[in-house]
């Protein structure tokens, strides 16, 4: 079983994402377990304070280390050998290769920051990795946690019904996936490429390879240098 413990100050954020689709099935089938912990429960003042002004000045508020670290320690005590992940715009880029590497782990503690970020001592001394899901800024780490969970979980045997589909997805070979088509053959005058109807499997594979390279060159040329030959 793959186990994710999410630490957040907005636990209701996760009320619905795990109630549909493959995530729901994986939970029901015992492939996946999700626990959500409110960081505020680890505060020690009557106001349940989780943030304060930054040392050195500046706009916004910074999340305090104490409640987050207390929550991390409790989560790790409950599930030993957990990998602790902090989500941050300044973290290492999370991509398919990282998802594949981390899918070998079985237990995760996911720390979702807010405001101007988390006190640097948390990722520096209490986390195994600090990750970013892209070159943009979100209001908090909750959306990143959902991306991380689905990206990693779907690589675990039993999550996706047809494991072959994982091999052919975008980024698995370093390239974007080729275009896909289904019925009807003609839709509002737009035809399915004839080669896909030919029954010639070698020609179809050749077309798909060419389309994959073409799309990658047009949309993500940065991937071409690292693509598998």
pLDDT digits (tens, 9 = 90+) for 131-187: 999 999 899 999 999 999 999 999 998 887 655 555 555 556 788 889 999 999 999
Nearest to 36 by CA among 49, 46, 44, 27: 27
Task: Judge if 109 and 217 occupy the same domain.
Answer: no
In a domain, 80, yes or no: yes
The per-residue pLDDT for range 93-120, each reduced to its tens digit, is: 999 999 999 999 999 999 999 988 999 9
For residues 28 and 182, the answer to whether their CB atoms sit within 8 Å is no
Tokens of 209: 């390879």
Identify the sign of the CA torsion 82, 87, 93, 95: positive
Over residues 177-205, mean pLDDT: 94
**pLDDT one-digit tens code per residue, 12-38:** 999 999 999 999 999 999 999 999 999
Domain encompassing residue 72: 2-153
Q: What is the dihedral of CA 212, 215, 219, 223, to 10 degrees?
A: 30
Q: What is the CATH number of the domain that holds 179?
A: 1.10.1270.20
Determine the Cα–Cα distance for residues 117 and 51; give it in Å rounded to an integer.
9
| Same-domain check for residues 200 and 149 | no
In terms of C-beta density within 10 A (0-12 exposed, 13-18 middle, 19 or more buried), how is residue 55 classed?
Answer: exposed
Average pLDDT of the segment spanning 218-226: 86
Asked if residue 141 belongs to a domain, the reply is yes
- Could you tell me if 132 and 177 lie in one domain? no
pLDDT at position 52 over 90: yes
Query: What does the alpha-carbon distance between residue 111 and residue 36 come to, in Å, rounded to a whole number?
Result: 10
Judge whether 201 and 192 are in contact, CB under 8 Å.
no
Q: How far is CA 150 from CA 44, 67, 121, 189, in A?
A: 33, 27, 28, 36
Q: What is the CATH number for 110?
A: 3.40.1280.10
Give the confidence band of 80 by pLDDT, cuts at 50, 70, 90.
confident
Categorize the per-residue pLDDT at 217 as very low, low, confident or very high, splitting at 50, 70 and 90: very high
């Amino acid at each position: 079983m793959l186990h994710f413990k999410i630490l957040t100050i907005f636990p209701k954020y996760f009320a619905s994402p795990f109630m549909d689709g493959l995530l729901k099935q994986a939970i029901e089938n015992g492939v996946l377990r999700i626990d959500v912990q409110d960081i505020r429960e680890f505060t020690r003042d009557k106001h349940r304070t989780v943030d304060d002004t930054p040392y050195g000045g500046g706009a916004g508020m910074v999340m305090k280390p104490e409640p987050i670290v207390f929550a991390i320690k409790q989560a790790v005590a409950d599930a030993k050998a957990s990998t602790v992940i902090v989500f941050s715009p300044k973290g290492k880029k999370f991509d398919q290769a990282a998802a594949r590497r981390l899918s070998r782990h079985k237990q995760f503690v996911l720390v979702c920051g807010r405001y101007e970020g988390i006190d640097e001592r948390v990722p520096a001394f209490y986390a195994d990795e600090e990750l970013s899901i892209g070159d943009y800024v979100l209001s908090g780490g909750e959306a990143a946690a959902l991306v991380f969970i689905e990206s990693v979980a779907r690589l675990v045997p039993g999550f996706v019904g047809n494991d072959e589909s994982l091999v052919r997805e975008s980024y698995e070979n370093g390239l974007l996936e080729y275009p896909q088509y289904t019925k009807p053959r003609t839709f509002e005058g737009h035809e399915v490429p004839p080669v896909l109807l030919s029954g010639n499997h070698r020609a179809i594979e050749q077309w798909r390879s060419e389309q994959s390279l073409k799309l990658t060159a047009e949309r993500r040329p940065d991937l071409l240098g690292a693509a598998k030959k």
